Amino acid sequence: TAAAAKGKMLAVVGDEDTVVGFLIDVVGEPNKARKPNYSIVDKQTGLQETKESFESSVARYDIAIILINQHIAEMIRYVVDQHTASIPAL
């Protein structure tokens, strides 16, 4: 893809099954600062931590697309709705 050609990555904010599935096949590539491009959200993950994971992915220049599970997006809907930029795409 054009994004991949420019060094852009896919990020995942999701449950363990989703993240592991993408780690095996697509994701799991840290940036130059060694920050991972995925975040696992489970029952123990607090709302603030979930929000920060999403915001961290949005703020990264090397992320072109963010995949977020629907139920997780609903948890932080007010934050997701504030994202209006075309890149990274949700």
How buried is 45 (Cβ within 10 angstroms: 0-12 exposed, 13-18 middle, 19+ buried)? middle
2-80 carries CATH number 3.40.50.10580: yes
pLDDT at 1: 46
Query: What is the pLDDT, as a whole number, of residue 69?
Result: 96
* Domain spans of the chain, in order of start: 2-80
Task: Return the H-helix or E-strand segment holding 52.
Answer: helix 47-59
Q: Of 70, 5, 10, nearest to 38 (Cα)?
A: 10
Model confidence pLDDT, tens digit, residues 16-61: 999 988 887 666 666 667 788 889 999 999 999 999 999 999 998 8
| Residue of 17, 16, 18, 19 whose CA lies nearest to 36 | 19
